[in-house]
Amino acid sequence: MERFYTLVFIGGVGCFAIAFLLSMIFPWMSLESFHGMDYHTLEQLAEKPSVEFVQLEQRFPAAFKEHYGEVSPASYAKALQRGRDVYVGQACWHCHSQYVRVVSNEHVRWGPPSSAQEYQNALNQPHLWGTRRVGPDLAREGGKKSNDWHIAHFINPKSVVPHSVMPPYPFYFDEKGVPNEDGFALITYLQWLGTVQAGIPVAERVTP
Amino acid sequence: MNATTALGTHGEPLVNYRLIKAHLTAGAIALSISMIAGFLYALQYVGYYPLGHDNWMLTPGHMRFLHTNMAAYGWLVNGFTAMLYYVVPRLTGKKVLSDKLGELIFWVWQLILALALFGYLTDKAQAIEWGETPTGFRPGTWELNYVPVDLLVVIGAVLVIVQFMTPIYHARDQKFYVTLWYFTTGLVWLALTYLMGNIMPEWMLPGAAGAATTGLFIHDLVGLYVTPMGWGMMYFFVPLILKKPIWSHSLSVIGFWALAFFYPLGGVHHFLISPIPDYVEFGAITTTIAIEVVVTTVVVNFFMTLRSKWSALRTSMAIRWFYVGAVFYFITCLQCAFQVTWMFQKVIHFTDWVVGHAHLIMFGVFTFWLFGVIDWLWPRVCRREWYSNTLRGWQFWMWSVGVLIMFFDLMIAGLVHGYMQRDLNDWSDILRMSEPFWWVRAFSGVMILIGLFCQLYNMYMTAKAGAAYQEDKHYVPANAD
């Protein structure tokens, strides 16, 4: 039993492979093959720019033109990807989760529970589920708040949520509150969250 | 074989103490960075921003990256590598592959840490928990936007494996002690785990299947690298310091195979009640509970070994670190067997409970065991006695009490948060209820930092001005009690 090759190939590779098969290949197969879920590329997701993206252009025409030009699938895709990059780089996902569970009344607070199909797209690769909720879950965030609310909240969270512990992110906006490239991107990304699922966003029944 | 100057068959020294010293020093520095970042992060929860909040590089999120990654890749990897340099040549009777390679590994690894640190501060982190080391590529493309740190980690890990697998391979005709079982498989697992976790979710698997993989990665990194190194280390140092064999070799072997089989199966338990298929979750829950049995065999084995040598807890600081760590280990793993069930998960997931659990396992268990090893090794590496026993005591008590306070504080905070969330309280009220707990956490962080600075100062002064080293002084008398 304590032979070198036993340890390397049965203990090391073998046991790892069994776990790899059971906890990775099996769920992958049952999600993709058996349920036939489609994968959406960034271009497919960005085919129709969101209302909020158009509103950003109308609200800040000059700044928008400077950073993103016209509202188009291409500029929407660029903003979504960049917004996700900022979200990842600033570790937003370590304080905000992105999935609604079927327990703890989460459907009441945030909306329909998450399904696997929602995450089969380029903006969830790797997924941003998170493991901690210091702030609220964001899986159903898109469309719940206005762009202006998000701007005020990013510049100083306490101005709209008095007991918030979220740090301010004033560096994504100029002194008049006009977003810069990252500011536009972050808001566009947040307003996209949850819009893959039909029937989302839902009206809130509880203050999140 | 003399314990301090192990010699090979031709009388050449087997152990390279310079490399051990370098890795321990680098590990201690990384631990300080991690602890300071963690403390800043804790302060930001209670509304203090010592670094200001106008700088996009010094945000709390970046502090968290530094805290977790410097603890894992800076402190534990450096500490375990130093420990391998001491243990592997002793158990195999062979030198590691090359001292030059050792220096290369050392510098490659510190380069990784420096590049990762700068990458975290400049938004280059990868979206994989515990594996945030930058890929270096713009997501979804092959355009470079930073140094591919992931690739460097793979290179660094392969070099470590080559360095230590060579002596183990050359000793393959000997009967292996259980420590070598753990190290052999642990090194294989390290490579497989890192490759799987950093490549598959990033480039191949979106969404739920990717989540199953990152869950497996987080779990394997702790279970298949840190745990085998930690247990192997304990199986080596405990009998060495107590001067008596481990209580049951059979039990250690059962523990080994049960770890190898059950531990990796539990990976998905990091994302329970999620879009991952339920049957996968049930498998993970069942095997996680089975791991508790494995842990019990190991803990029982350690405590039966200590039987009739209880006074070593007083006379040997290393033994004290080891056994307090072992108690914490049992607590964490017992907690694990409960918290993995759906019944607990629906309340405690997403709350501070999990944070408390992670702190106890990383800082209460594996850090304690490594501190025990440092306590044993540092005088031998420097050929000097510890500069101050008082500081050693302060370090021990500050860490033990600090970690325990943090653990219980966060556990209760987690329950409060979990039940308030379930009962549909306003989110602001949850934050207001959490605030006192976050103050207590910041306080326990101060205690841990004090303990850490006692250690750093003590290590520095020992290396610089400790009394000359006396071999016999460090052994527990053979017939204590």
- Residue B479 confidence (pLDDT) above 80: no
- Residue A202 confidence (pLDDT) above 50: no
Residue B468: φ, ψ to 5°: -60, 150
Q: What is the pLDDT of residue B224?
A: 92
Mark whether A153 and A124 lie in a shared domain.
yes
Residues of B in contact with A91 (CB under 8 A): 59-62, 64-65, 125
A204 in any annotated domain: no
User: What is the mean predicted confidence (pLDDT) over B283-309?
Assistant: 93
Q: Do residues B333 and B300 lie in contact, with contact meaning Cβ atoms separated by under 8 Å? A: no
Mark whether A59 and A23 lie in a shared domain.
no
Q: What is the pLDDT of residue B476?
A: 47
- 3-state SS class at B349: coil
Q: Do residues B246 and B235 lie in contact, with contact meaning Cβ atoms separated by under 8 Å? A: yes
Cα separation, B190 vs B186, whole angstroms: 6
Q: Do residues B323 and B307 lie in contact, with contact meaning Cβ atoms separated by under 8 Å? A: no
Q: Say whether A32 and B349 touch across the interface (CB within 8 A).
A: no
Q: What is the pLDDT of residue B198?
A: 87
Task: Dump the DSSP string for A143-201.
Answer: TTS-HHHHHHHHH-GGGTSTT--PPP-GGGB-TTS-B-HHHHHHHHHHHHTTTTSTT-S
Mark whether A32 and A70 lie in a shared domain.
no
Output the domain CATH number for residue A159: 1.10.760.10
Tokens of B337: 């067997």
- Cβ atoms within 10 Å, residue B314: 11
Kindly state whether B215 is in contact with chain A, defined as any CB-CB distance less than 8 angstroms: yes
A201 in any annotated domain: no
> Is the bond preceding A126 in cis, omega lying within 30 degrees of 0?
yes
Q: How far is A94 from chain B (nearest CA, A)?
A: 7
- Residue B297 confidence (pLDDT) above 90: yes
Nearest CA in chain B to A104: B422
Mark whether A55 and A20 lie in a shared domain.
no
A205 in any annotated domain: no
Kindly state whether B145 is in contact with chain A, defined as any CB-CB distance less than 8 angstroms: no
Q: What is the pLDDT of residue A191?
A: 94
Q: Say whether A167 and B49 touch across the interface (CB within 8 A).
A: yes
- Give the residues across from B468 on adjacent strands: B384
Cα separation, B56 vs B140, whole angstroms: 24
Cα separation, A146 vs A133, whole angstroms: 22
Mark whether A15 and A94 lie in a shared domain.
no
pLDDT digits (tens, 9 = 90+) for B167-198: 999 999 888 899 999 999 999 999 899 989 88
How many CB pairs lie under 8 A apart between chains A and B? 261
Q: Predicted ipTM? A: 0.93
More confident residue, B215 or B9: B215
pLDDT digits (tens, 9 = 90+) for A81-119: 999 999 999 999 999 999 999 999 999 999 889 988 889
Nearest CA in chain A to B201: A126
The pLDDT confidence band at residue B157, using thresholds 50, 70 and 90, is very high
Mark whether A171 and A144 lie in a shared domain.
yes
Cα separation, A131 vs A94, whole angstroms: 7
Q: What is the pLDDT of residue B146?
A: 94
More confident residue, A158 or A34: A158
The pLDDT confidence band at residue B140, using thresholds 50, 70 and 90, is confident
Nearest CA in chain B to A25: B209
In this structure, what is the dihedral angle of CA atoms B419, B422, B425, B431, given to the nearest 10 degrees? 60
A133 in any annotated domain: yes
Mark whether A32 and A56 lie in a shared domain.
no
Q: What is the pLDDT of residue A35?
A: 64
A100 in any annotated domain: yes
- Cβ atoms within 10 Å, residue A201: 18
User: What is the mean predicted confidence (pLDDT) over B315-342?
Assistant: 95
Q: What is the pLDDT of residue B64?
A: 95
Mark whether A24 and A52 lie in a shared domain.
no
If you search the block for the tokens 């977790």, which residue do you land on? B68
Mark whether A22 and A104 lie in a shared domain.
no
Q: What is the pLDDT of residue B473?
A: 58
User: What is the mean predicted confidence (pLDDT) over B244-269?
Assistant: 92
User: What is the mean predicted confidence (pLDDT) over B375-382?
Assistant: 93
The beta-carbon neighbor of B202 closest among A15, A84, A126 is A126
Q: What is the pLDDT of residue A207?
A: 41
Mark whether A26 and A70 lie in a shared domain.
no
Q: What whole-number percentage of chain B has pLDDT above 90?
A: 84
Chain B segment 264-303 residues within 8 A of A by beta carbon are 264-265, 267-268, 270-271, 273-277, 279-280, 283-284
CA-nearest of B73, B44, B65 to B121 is B65
Q: What whole-number percentage of chain B has pLDDT above 70?
A: 96
Residues of A in contact with B271 (CB under 8 A): 129, 131
A54 in any annotated domain: yes
Q: What is the residue range of A26's domain?
A: 1-36
Residues of B in contact with A120 (CB under 8 A): 206-207
Q: What is the pLDDT of residue A175?
A: 93
Cα separation, A124 vs A135, whole angstroms: 20
Mark whether A80 and A31 lie in a shared domain.
no
Cα separation, B183 vs B179, whole angstroms: 6
Mark whether A136 and A63 lie in a shared domain.
yes
Q: Do residues B231 and B186 lie in contact, with contact meaning Cβ atoms separated by under 8 Å? A: no
- Cβ atoms within 10 Å, residue B378: 23
Residues of B in contact with A100 (CB under 8 A): none
What is the number of domains present in chain A?
2
A68 in any annotated domain: yes
A76 in any annotated domain: yes
Q: Say whether B264 and A165 touch across the interface (CB within 8 A).
A: no
CA-nearest of B324, B312, B455 to B401 is B324
The pLDDT confidence band at residue B141, using thresholds 50, 70 and 90, is confident
Cα separation, B406 vs A185, whole angstroms: 37
- Residue A200 confidence (pLDDT) above 80: no
Per-residue H/E/C for B154-202: HHHHHHHHHHHHHHHHHCCCCCCCHHHHHHHHHHHHHHHHHHHHHHHHH
pLDDT digits (tens, 9 = 90+) for B22-80: 999 999 999 999 999 999 999 999 999 998 888 899 999 999 999 999 999 999 999 99
| B431: exposed, middle or buried (Cβ count in 10 Å: 0-12, 13-18, 19+) | buried
- Give the residues across from B7 on adjacent strands: B13
Chain B segment 50-109 residues within 8 A of A by beta carbon are 53-56, 59-62, 64-65
